[in-house]
Structure 1
Amino acid sequence: MTDTDIQDISAQTRHWLQAAVIGLNLCPFAKAAYNKDLIRIEVSRARHLDDFLELLDRELLLLRDTPADTLETTLVVEPNLFADFELFNEVLDITDQVLVEHGLDGIIQIAPFHPQFQFADADADAISNYTNRSPYPTFHLIREASIDKAMQAFPDAATIYERNIALLEQMGIEGWQALWKQDKAS
């Protein structure tokens, strides 16, 4: 993978953040961190699982050791290894073990995003899945303290998921796809 490929993947991920996550307000906490340039996007060049896990180790420790006012959260984007959503889910179990091994369980959590993301209770084509669909398989490393802080600022945080589903149902698949076509035209 070339540096140009890495830059393109990073740009697509940033565009997804701007257009969907922030633009549709799917995560009301993301805008402030994004505007303050506190979101790190790290694109993996891994060729096998061991390479990826080494990258994950480094990124978890970097997030742990960096003050939140310098680095709030990290998106580890893995464009090559986990195109299959079932494999991606299996790797999520491993990432949870990595958190425990580093003593970070309860300090950092990992939220999954994937181009074919599917909730266990949803059909593959259900619009609700799009709340967690991203251009590439992505592991969002989030500080638990940041989540707690955001929850205090947004007391009805439990309603975010329901609001997102209602918004996406209103947009439909066609509206979601039009969002990307519209943004490419501008």
Structure 2
Amino acid sequence: MLHVLCGVHNHPSAEHLEGHSFANGLSKEETSLLVDMSKSMVRLKKIFVTLKQRDAFNATTMKTIYNARHRHRVVQRAGRSQMQQLLGKLSIQNYVEWHRCDDKEKVTDLFWAHPVSLELLRTFPHVLIMGCTYKTNRYRLPLLEIVEVTSTDLTFSVAFAYLGYEREDNYTCALGILRIVLENTVFPKVIITDRSWL
């Protein structure tokens, strides 16, 4: 039960609505625009600026945009983990994918390659370049990139692999999968690497 003691406001209405949840919310059109721009890999700051340019009275904050994108991703994943989502996307796009897990069913190594890249490798199987980069993801796994050189001195990515550790065993597994994928193909005559696992 509610008892109203004084039904009159003791302050004037606010001139600016920043900070009020009603004013910060996104309309259906703005949410649709955010989803479309996110699919196009547009940065959130650019999305924020676009929304402000479309409507001068828009009181949306960056936190609202982060939350809206997060809600959309949760709905899109339909309860799947990030790893399940990644493996599903690789499968839908027909990537060649291989992974191995430890005793606790945690993925330790993940190899993937696009079929078109593998066809290009079969066409130009002469020089293979491999290198690892660090701090490319939140899990701090080294990312192995395998690159090929064409006859016109252009390079293209053949495959990628997240390695659990930068050890010979991890490299051997990744290259073993590449060799299986390229079965009945001429293997590269030259492999260039920084030998960082030694």
- The higher radius of gyration belongs to 2
User: Relative contact order: is structure 1 or structure 2 higher (C-alpha 8 Å, sep ≥ 6)?
Assistant: 1
TM-score normalised to the size of structure 2? 0.24
TM-score normalised to the size of structure 1? 0.26
Q: Counting strand residues as a fraction of each chain, which structure ranks higher?
A: 2
